[in-house]
Structure 1
Amino acid sequence: MLTTSQLIQIRRDLHQIPEVALQEHDTKQYLLKVIQQFDQQFLQIKTVPELPTALLVRVQGKQPKKTIGYRADIDGLPVKEKTGLAFSSKNEGKMHACGHDIHMTVALGILNYFSEHQPQDNLLFFFQPAEESKNGGKLAYEQGVFAGEWRPDEFFALHVTPDLPTGTIGCRNGTLFAGAAEINIDLYGQDGHAAYPQRANDMVVAAAALISQIQTIVARSIDPIESGVITIGKVRAGTIRNAIAGHAHLEGTLRGLTQTMIEQIEKRLREVTAGIGQSFAARAEIEINQGGYWPVENDPKITAEFIDYMKNNPAVKYQETEPAMTGEDFGYLLAKIPGTMCWLGVEDDSQPHSATFNPQESAIEAGIKAIVGFFEEHM
């Protein structure tokens, strides 16, 4: 079994080599090196030519009735680290600022345990590239990675959070993470001189009207008991103060707690954009990209069992959590394969995606023990 010091060293090694989406080659090689040191009696390793940084490991069960999947994301972020840690990132401008180094270490600890203690059911570990961007889970699913004996009947995953005490397992039935989609809007009118507005068609004014109208979608088209968010975070128009802009470009994001709600928001957003285009005699183009960032909707039956185990195990610190508006591409996999995602508390003053995020390493063993214990009971 991996010792506490070995687990911490693995985490620190991984922390030093962050790589962004679909470029996780060194990370994959490190994972392979560690896994190849485990007892191989029950293990089968699979790589994917179509998704070269992905890695799958199958553990053969004693008397399997199903295959239980466990996913760990492996990519880092384009963030320049400012933690000052002795094991800070060696890759300039890249950092494991979302805790995926912790995710991988927990997964390796779980895999190591079951490589030495053959499980009742089959286990499938999916070390997934490109969670932060390029929706690696969706890519893997669409490329047929989960076929035959490599298809899990259930899928599980965890995500670190600094908002829970170290080692605490947080979960809820229903939506854990919101779904997210990118919005790109272009408005085309006619540029001209600021002194002759009647000879131009001002897209700054059209963009202002559109932004105001967008704010009514959640306020007036979404059930107030539910939750949704639309944020326009970037607006670009014009080149100089005394010229009317004939083009405006807007970028933003929309988020919702269910896929149905996201589709409803998207429909209204397209209608409002088209309406502004018509009312301002402008050409309006809108592009909405959701990819694999669907809401993480936990399966009711499986999650009820998961929560029951965590609540009633005296060795586990458990806390019911509220939905988060952050996105996670595990939602796409849960839309195809039932399962559960949970939080692992890592107690830090900094938030994920920040340059100073520094999760508590003592959470690693707590996460491993909680998931191993649940899997053994679940089988």
Structure 2
Amino acid sequence: MMAFTAEELIKIRRQLHQIPEIGMEEFETSAKLMAIIKSLPQTFLEIKTWKTAILVHVQGKNPSKTIGYRTDIDGLPVTEQTGLPYASKHAGRMHACGHDIHMTVALGILSHFAEVQPECNLTFLFQPSEEILSGGKQVYESGVMDEWMPDEIYAFHDNPQLPAGTIGCRLGTLFAGTCEIHATFTGKSGHAAYPHMANDMVVAGAQFVNQIQTIVSRNVDPIQAGVVTLGHFEAGTTGNVIAGKCQIDGTIRALTQVNNRLIQKRVEAIAKGVAQAFDCQLDLKLEQGGYYPVENNDQTTKAFIDFMQANPEVDFVETQPAMTGEDFGFLLSKIPGTMFWLGVDSPYSLHSEYLAPKEEAIFAGVKAMVAYIEHRQTEVFAAKY
């Protein structure tokens, strides 16, 4: 069997698009991927699984080093509204973040190197649960990658705002790190006419919300980026009852792990201060998991950008950082590597129920990454190590 053609990749993508599944429940997706992988020549391949993850190791001719390539495989709890003939068959589930595109590009790259043995080893990670539960962190910490641990690793995210097939990247941080905030303040409910006999958590919660707004404006270096958004505030049951409990939920976004930690510490200090000032109980959870900033390695990213800019078949653009989160940041905190954008040209944003990426991006992504890996392993990879 030859490497997948553009037409075959589009067919695969449409099959994957129809069967989106939530993180750590990607059973049908994983089975479909496994069937496709096993249809490839197996001469150079070894396969491992961990829960719904699949790892494929390609044995190189001179296996002193290993290049890694990661794709995510999960979907979102979104009801698709595209009207496409190959729309999701799973009610309330959709590949609204384009992971079907991600998987298909990975399969295209793998199909080439299953036919053409690489110089160095390659490790492909088909990773579950990027959207929730920090799947990359879970896979890494499980130890399943240890035997085939890459020396450097690459991944992309599709970008509806870029023309189809365009490669976008930058030195430094590509995506923000995230941390979820869950704060519950508990006081004492009571009658609206007798506030002295109650402990009003609407007032306590309001003070917390107001003080949180000072973190980025007064604690974060103004030339660096950070965002704290509190999107959920719930307290009370009716207008004439003082609320005895307030639940507030939000998110932190920062372009470096240092600033993410700084903001977390300030959130914690403010929450504790409000609890002390209002003599109430506090239950605070700050959940970062594996959603670290996607901080591209200087060495691998310079090599990647230099190659893409010099390749006449690639339309390359330098992009700005984005406040979106991606659990590839955890893997980059452990393994040097680079994440980039692949344009898919859609008027609808990631996570939209109307997202319909242009499929010509798939083969463009495959060609660009096959060429880069071949270049990196022979000309740059060997020279650097």
Structure 1 length normalisation: TM-score?
0.98
Deviation at 1:346, TM superposition (A): 0.3
Deviation at 1:65, TM superposition (A): 2.4
Query: Of 45, 52, 72, which residue of structure 1 is paired with 2:47?
Result: 45
- Corresponding position of 2:68: 69
Query: Of 194, 197, 207, which residue of structure 2 is paired with 1:209?
Result: 207
Deviation at 1:36, TM superposition (A): 1.1
Q: Deviations over 1:266-312 (max 9, x none)?
A: 00111111111111222222110000100000000110000000011
Deviation at 1:8, TM superposition (A): 0.3
Structure 2 length normalisation: TM-score?
0.96
- Corresponding position of 2:178: 180
1:3 maps to amino acid: T
Alpha-carbon distance in 2 for matches of 1:103, 1:276: 44
Q: Deviations over 1:125-168 (max 9, x none)?
A: 000000000111000111112112x1111111010000111100
Deviation at 1:64, TM superposition (A): 2.1
Alpha-carbon distance in 1 for matches of 2:98, 2:42: 28
Task: Show structure 1 runs of 4+ deviating over 2 A.
Answer: none
- Corresponding position of 1:241: 239
Partner of 2:64: helix, strand, or coil?
coil
Q: Is structure 2 residue 141 aligned with structure 1 residue 139? A: no
Alpha-carbon distance in 1 for matches of 2:86, 2:107: 20
- Corresponding position of 1:29: 31
- Corresponding position of 1:353: 351
Alpha-carbon distance in 2 for matches of 1:46, 1:196: 65
Partner of 1:108: helix, strand, or coil?
helix
Q: Could you list the runs of 5+ residues in structure 1 that have no partner in the other structure?
A: none
Q: Deviations over 1:232-285 (max 9, x none)?
A: 111111111110001101011101101111000000111111111111222222
Alpha-carbon distance in 2 for matches of 1:145, 1:180: 26
Q: Deviations over 1:91-115 (max 9, x none)?
A: 0000000000000000000000011
Q: Could you list the runs of 5+ residues in structure 2 that have no partner in the other structure?
A: 378-385
Deviation at 1:179, TM superposition (A): 0.5
Partner of 2:213: helix, strand, or coil?
helix
Between the two proteins, the alignment pairs up a number of residues equal to 375
1:331 maps to amino acid: G
Q: Is structure 2 residue 283 aligned with structure 1 residue 281? A: no
Q: Deviations over 1:305-334 (max 9, x none)?
A: 000000111110000001110100000000
Alpha-carbon distance in 2 for matches of 1:132, 1:330: 11
Deviation at 1:47, TM superposition (A): 1.2
Equivalent positions of 1:301-340 (< 5 A) are 301-340=299-338
- Corresponding position of 2:129: 130
Alpha-carbon distance in 2 for matches of 1:263, 1:224: 16
- Corresponding position of 1:60: 59
Deviation at 1:85, TM superposition (A): 0.2
Of 336-345 and 282-291, deviating more is 282-291
1:296 maps to amino acid: V
Alpha-carbon distance in 2 for matches of 1:334, 1:145: 17
1:225 maps to amino acid: I
Equivalent positions of 1:98-137 (< 5 A) are 98-137=97-136
Alpha-carbon distance in 2 for matches of 1:191, 1:185: 18
Q: Is structure 2 residue 192 aligned with structure 1 residue 190? A: no
2:312 maps to amino acid: P
- Corresponding position of 1:200: 198
Deviation at 1:22, TM superposition (A): 0.4
- Corresponding position of 2:16: 14
When the two chains are superposed, the root-mean-square deviation of aligned CA atoms in Å is 0.7
Q: Is structure 2 residue 376 aligned with structure 1 residue 374? A: no
Partner of 1:324: helix, strand, or coil?
coil
Q: Deviations over 1:54-102 (max 9, x none)?
A: 0010101111221011001000000000000000000000000000000
Alpha-carbon distance in 1 for matches of 2:96, 2:329: 21
Equivalent positions of 1:82-93 (< 5 A) are 82-93=81-92
Report percent identity of matched pairs.
56
Alpha-carbon distance in 2 for matches of 1:145, 1:317: 36
1:25 maps to amino acid: F
Alpha-carbon distance in 2 for matches of 1:162, 1:40: 35
- Corresponding position of 1:97: 96
Alpha-carbon distance in 1 for matches of 2:38, 2:299: 35
2:38 maps to amino acid: Q
2:99 maps to amino acid: H
Alpha-carbon distance in 2 for matches of 1:81, 1:182: 26
- Corresponding position of 1:79: 78
2:73 maps to amino acid: I
Partner of 1:358: helix, strand, or coil?
coil
- Corresponding position of 2:383: none
Alpha-carbon distance in 2 for matches of 1:30, 1:246: 51
Partner of 2:232: helix, strand, or coil?
strand
1:131 maps to amino acid: E
Alpha-carbon distance in 1 for matches of 2:219, 2:139: 35
